[in-house]
Amino acid sequence: MSTIKRQLPHPSELFEQVSLKKPEFNPTTRRLAAALTIEDLRKIAKRRTPRAAFDYTDGAADDEISMDRSRQAFSDIEFHPSILRDVSHVDTSTTIFGGPSALPFGIAPTGFTRLMQTEGEVAGAGAAGAAGIPFSLSTLGTTSIEAVKDANPGGRNWFQLYVMKDRSISYALVQRAAAAGFDTLFFTVDAPVAGARLRDKRNGFSIPPVLTLPTVLNAIPRPAWWINFLTTPKLEFASLSSTGGTVGELLDNAMDPSISFDDLDEIRALWPGKLVVKGVQNVEDAKRLIDLGVDGLVLSNHGGRQLDRAPVPFRLLPEVVREVGRDAEIAIDTGIMNGADIVASIAMGAKFTLIGRAYLYGLMAGGRAGVDRAIEILAEQIVRTMKLLQVSSLDELGPQHVTQLDRLVPSASARGLSIG
């Protein structure tokens, strides 16, 4: 039996084979560097954020079926790579709604953003600008239109609009966004009333947060969040702060069950940029909107936060693309937690995607640096997925690269039904 000759390592040879990692003393930098996925950022966010604020971000409506199905839809795909293609360089850039984006995703509009972490929309807008992607500000944002412009002066800013019961408030916001140079308006149509956010109700969630014994006990291991919250400007709907009323009254006023296609005409007359309708959930509405001249659509079920058991945007995408994809740019959101999800969406015909929770997990995990890390993670995953599929540009992606595997399919009787 042969034996291996052993010897003491020579110091010079030892250092050739082993290197010492330089220690990182900044805890935030250390945590973020160790995060390799959006799920890793989520776990950090959960540890560092009070439960009510985290659950507001992480949760969805009713039994959260829409959110779970939307995420599952991206798991239920099969990629089909090509071979022997030169992918030494991959181009992730695209154009969307009349302008450029360095990556095929942007930051979705989110409400109450400074509740999650005090840097809020300023961190999101700054990170988006640095990455060369668009940032979207919500009507219910906690940073003003003008402050977002200051945070992202050279980048693309988009504004998401709820048509409020007091139409003059909505119209004034449209005019302010236009004056600040925002180039795209998201007219959101899937929120005539608020969805049933059961996590929020169980947590006694409110804006601003109310201190109760459970709140205090939950806050004890998260002092940094409370220090930031208590030593920065008060939490409010920044773009609505001059309109009067309490936060609760403004929230109730923001969602109006009387909105109709007539409101689309009014907004179109006021808005000089690209007009995109967000919250489209069936083919017939998509066709009607294109006939009415909108510039684009966002297929969305509001992150599963409105109607539970709503259509899954990624599942709806191919049919909408077949019907109207030649006439308008189509984006999707909901359920995107990996760059591979974004690649699959582009392959199935989306022109663009939006990330909401993925960005907010980064924000809660580390403020601006956490948002930068979320974007970096997704960008790395997009590039790696494209290289493994052996495509060098987004234009090369197509349905031949992705199969949506069947898990939830309509029954035979449902397939025979017609709508309209």
Torsion angle of C-alpha atoms 369, 375, 377, 379, degrees rounded to 10:
-150
User: In CATH, what class is 90-405?
Assistant: alpha beta
pLDDT in tens, 357-384: 999 999 999 999 999 999 999 999 999 9
By the 8 A CB rule, do 292 and 264 touch?
yes
In this prediction, residue 226 carries a pLDDT of 83
Q: What is the pLDDT of residue 195?
A: 86
Exposed, middle or buried: residue 367 (CB in 10 Å: 0-12, 13-18, 19+)? buried
- Nearest residue to 394 (alpha-carbon basis) of 83, 79, 89, 91: 91
Count H helices, E strands: the chain?
A: 19, 12
Average pLDDT over residues 380-409: 94
E-strand ranges in 94-171 read: 94-96, 99-101, 105-107, 135-138, 157-161
Q: What is the mean pLDDT of residues 69-73?
A: 96
The residue that leads in pLDDT, 352 or 219, is 352
* Active site amino acids: 302
pLDDT of residue 14: 66
pTM for this model (two decimals): 0.91
Q: For position 20, what pLDDT does the model report? A: 67
Token couple for 248: 């609760």
Least confident of 151-165, 221-235, 287-301: 221-235
Amino acid at position 118, single letter: T
Residues 6+ apart with CB under 8 A from 236: 142, 247
Q: Model confidence over 164-223: pLDDT tens digits?
A: 888 888 999 999 999 999 999 999 999 888 888 888 888 877 766 666 777 777 777 888
Could you give the angle at which helices 339-347 and 357-389 cross, rounded to 10 degrees? Answer: 60
User: Given a cut of 80, is residue 15 above it in pLDDT?
Assistant: no
pLDDT of residue 417: 45
Domain ranges of the chain: 90-405
CA–CA separation, 317 vs 89, rounded Å?
28
Where does the pLDDT of residue 410 fall: very low under 50, low under 70, confident under 90, or very high at 90 and above? low
pLDDT at 414: 46
Question: Tens digits of per-residue pLDDT, 89-120?
Answer: 999 999 999 999 999 999 999 999 999 999 99
